[in-house]
Structure 1
Amino acid sequence: MRRVVVTGVGLVSPLGPDRESGWRALTDGCSATDPDGGRAPLADDGAPRAVTLALAAAREAWIDAGLANAAGLAGERRGCLVSSSKPLPPGAPGESWRAPDEVPAAVARALGAEGPVMNLAAACATGAQSLLAAAGWIAEGRADVVVAGAAESALHPLYRAGFAKMGVLSKAGRVRPFDRARDGFLMGEGAAVFVLETAESAAARGARVWAEVLGGDFSSDAHHATRFNGNGERMAASLARALKRADVPPDALDYINAHGTATRLNDALESQALKKVFPRNAPPVSSTKGATGHLLGATGAVEIAFALLALRDGILPPTLHLDRPETPDLDFVPNRARRAPVRRAASLSYGFGGALSAVVLGRNS
């Protein structure tokens, strides 16, 4: 199996229209959540909003990878797995019909990807599972370079009403992951896109490597349409499998970007899962949703981007609005970013329907 590395990162979120502005806002402790939905500061261009976000992030990642003039890279060896989980159904008020694969198709056209192109929908684990599936394409030789990630703009009243009916939106208007007073999330939009390729091809063209995709897991809780198993066992098993496949002992992990939705059930189960995998000396864990809101299908990709930036800069992003941790023996990096050596990091994503994802990344040596 071929080793897979990340050579380009593009990011758009409510915190900023590009990677560096968003990261700076996050580490400065800014929050861009909005009860009406946190919009990314990116102008509309007439295209469907998720396509606009995806293309902005994809172009940033492509340039970052040094591939803007990659004439020697055959188009049929370029793949695209930039996904969106929530295209609006036909007849949604104020919306026209959209193809389920409009996001990856638009990115493929923009970057000349004539190899495998696919949309993968796994609710809020969409971005993470897209990256892992794309890494599999490269490892198995189906493509040499894959643009992977997710984009989502699901701020339509139809989705907001659904989440409100489920009781998972914050009535207080503040996203407080892992806090005793948490009462749900606020929705947002965004995109994160990565350029993945083999370690050998990156070295051959002298590309900067952000990190290696050391391993991961995407699986299913297979328990309930909107609730996870009541003791966090499947969440724990997913992370344990990812660490084993990455050949990273639990005590060698330096940082975890948690799913941390600030809902009563998710954060309790996720904390239990972390304590199962790390019964002693858990690494620092933070949820960045207090800053971005919940970006739904894009959230896993955006949080992987934050994990990559933590690896690059040795900065742990904070869990905002955390005053009274429900699990005080876990280090949630409360309210302020912190400098720390980060060589290996994980990002966790979970989705309604039972989707589980864990991605393990290692800084390039």
Structure 2
Amino acid sequence: MSRTDIAVTGLGLLTPGGVGAAASWRSVCAGVSAAATDPELASGPVDFSCRVPGFDAAATLGPQVWRMDRFVQLAMAAAREAVSDAGLHPRTWDGARVGVVIGVGTESKYAMTDATRRMYDGKPLTVSPLTVPRSTTNMAAGEVAIDLGIMGPSLAVSTACASGATALGVARDLLLAERCDIVLAGGSEASCHPLTALCFSQMQALSRRVHDPAHASRPFDRDRDGFVLGEGAGILVLERGADAYARGAAVRGYFQGYGSATDAYHYAASHPQGEGISRAFHAALADAGMEPADIDHVNAHGTSTPMNDRIEAQALDRLFANDPPPVTSTKGVTGHTLGAAGAIEAAFSLLALRDQLIPPTANFGVPDAGIALDVASGSSRRQTLRAVASNSFGFGGHNSVLIFQHA
């Protein structure tokens, strides 16, 4: 056990599959989409989404929720679960040696749109003085730090849909530099807002299967027509392996490699040859001291958009010399949780390692003619898993790849 081995000792999840890591993992392994008609989106051209079911913020977090936007509430609940899962407690740690890094892809629309409406309705004095503190992206990390007594670095990361994965990479660097002994890291997003849905719909990015939302998110499938908005949060507890061993922690897996690269190509589209994807993957492999053949499974970005799925698939095909390992996109179940996706899918990668189980890609039936991947579908697949890669990409050309190894 080395001080350069980064151990994951706790997981916290709130996803459209359920509240808690166990419920979320069961849903993903069942391979049934969480997409359903969403009354809040009824006024727009796309009226369905993937929401976290049955999350009562006030009952879970207490009366302080009144000052928090939903993406903060989701992050706090996931952070509390992760800390408990790690066998840690804020009363017993040195808060100055604990950090938090949380990725958020888009500024929350809830408080800001309410304030804008009031202003243009001629009621400026009814705008809440907490509008800015509730909605800015740093408040997930800030409120988690307040809640758990974290006094080390508290950072917000925003790299669009790669935010959660990038946050994990930043957290790993903090541990390797010995600036912290424990870091809570991940992503949170509450994106199922009418304005967010409208904007993505205007970009032609969302699926239009309004009469069949349960089959709308279909990554890598020939008939995919766009992604489904989702919400959620994923938080991981990271420690140096030697420290985790010394306190007798149960290790969920090792975070062995991180790679990040930028396309420098287009504000919204991936590089057509997936060059940034390839560079990020090679960087993660080099960081982990691995070769492509060492990767037993890929949790793909796989958003269910026609162009990006094909670009990712072709990049993976080239990387693995035309013989990629089994690939899953768990977005078939959860939809696209934007800035939270990379962290949620990192947790699913670790659970796949724990159970030696590859979850299916929901709604995958007929492969696209341009996609030659071994897409896991139908039911979960038993397989020996030593190392799993998780991909995340975002607007602006951001590409992040994480590699986890079995404990």
**Same-fold call, TM > 0.5?**
yes
1:111 aligned residue: 148
Letter of the structure 2 residue corresponding to residue 36 of structure 1: F
Give the alignment partner of residue 333 of structure 1, picking from 372, 376, 388: 376
Q: Which amino acid aligns with 2:28?
A: L
Q: 1:51 aligns with which of 72, 75, 93?
A: 72
Q: Tell me what 2:96 maps to.
A: 76
1:273 match: 315
Tell me, yes or no, if the aligned pair for 2:103 and 2:166 is still in contact at 8 Å. Answer: no
1:6 to 5, 8, 13: 8
Instruction: Mark the CA change 1:219 to 1:91 in structure 2 (over 3 Å): closer, same or farther.
Output: same
- Residue number in structure 2 paired with 1:209: 251
Kindly tell me: are residues 70 and 277 of structure 1, through their superposed partners in 2, closer, same or farther at Cα, counting changes over 3 Å? Answer: farther
Greater shift in the superposed pair: 237-246 or 324-333: 324-333
Structure 1 gaps of 5+ residues are none
- What letter is aligned with 1:164? S
Partners of 1:330 and 1:118 lie apart in 2 by 36
Unmatched 5+ residue regions in structure 2? Answer: 37-46, 59-65, 116-130
Q: How does 1:1-365 map to 2 (within 5 A)?
A: 2-34=4-36, 35-41=47-53, 42-45=55-58, 46=66, 47-68=68-89, 71=92, 73-88=93-108, 92-94=112-114, 96-97=131-132, 98-172=135-209, 173=213, 174-326=216-368, 327=370, 329-364=372-407
SS in 2 for 1:216: strand
Distance 1:99 1:286 in 2: 32
What is the CA deviation profile of residues 69-122 of structure 1, one whole-angstrom value per residue up to 9, with x for unaligned ones?
Answer: 661x21110001023222236984225332331100111111111000010001
Counterparts of 2:248 and 2:111 in 1: how far apart (Å)? 49
In the alignment, is the contact (CA less than 8 A) between 2:219 and 2:332 conserved in 1?
A: yes
How far 1:350 moved relative to its partner?
Answer: 0.2
Q: Look up the SS of the partner of 2:17 in the other structure.
A: coil
Q: Residues of 2 paired with 1:329 and 1:122: CA distance?
A: 29
Report the Cα distance in structure 2 between the residues aligned to 1:65 and 1:316, rounded to whole angstroms: 24
- Distance in 2 between residues matched to 1:25 and 1:245, nearest whole Å: 32
In the alignment, the residues of structure 2 paired with residue 69 and residue 301 of structure 1 have an alpha-carbon distance, to the nearest angstrom, of 22
Please provide the CA RMSD for this pair. Answer: 1.5
Per-residue deviation, 1:187: 0.3
Contact 2:218 2:362 (8 Å CA) reproduced:
yes
Normalization by structure 2: what TM-score? Answer: 0.86
CA gap 1:146/1:250 in 2 versus in 1, 3 angstroms? same
Distance 2:273 2:316 in 1: 11
Contact 1:92–1:158 (CA under 8 A) maintained in structure 2: no
**What are the Cα deviations for residues 207-252 of structure 1, in whole angstroms up to 9, with x where unaligned?**
0111111111122111101111111122122112211211111111
Higher helix share: 2
Alpha-carbon deviation of 1:329?
3.4
Q: Distance in 2 between matches of 1:268 and 1:61?
A: 34
Aligned partners of 2:57 and 2:7: how far apart in 1? 32
- Contact in 1 for aligned 2:313/2:372 (Cα 8 Å): no
1:344 maps to amino acid: A
Rounded Cα–Cα distance in structure 1 between residues aligned with 2:265 and 2:110: 29
Aligned partners of 2:108 and 2:136 also within 8 Å: no
Return the alpha-carbon distance in structure 2 between the equivalents of residues 333 and 91 of structure 1. Answer: 40
Partner of 2:157: helix, strand, or coil? coil
Measure how far apart 1:258 and its partner are: 0.2
Deviations 1:29-51 (A, max 9, x none): 22102343221121243331111
Moved more, 353-362 or 334-343: 334-343
- Which one has the largest radius of gyration? 2
Whether the 8 Å CA contact 2:261–2:279 is kept in 1: the answer is no
Which amino acid in 2 is paired with 1:166?
M
Checking the alignment, whether the CA contact within 8 Å between 2:296 and 2:326 is kept in structure 1 is yes
Q: Structure 1: which amino acid aligns with 2:147? A: A
Q: How many residues align?
A: 363
Give TM-score scaled by structure 1 length. 0.96
- Identify which range, 99-108 or 348-357, moves more after superposition: 99-108
Moved over 3 A (4+): 88-92
The answer to whether the 8 Å contact 1:218/1:238 transfers is yes
Identity %: 40
Measure the CA separation in 2 of the matches of 1:224 and 1:328: 23
The SS at the match of 1:175 is: coil
Conservation of the 8 A alpha-carbon contact between 1:251 and 1:281: no
Measured in 1, the distance between the counterparts of 2:185 and 2:111 equals 30
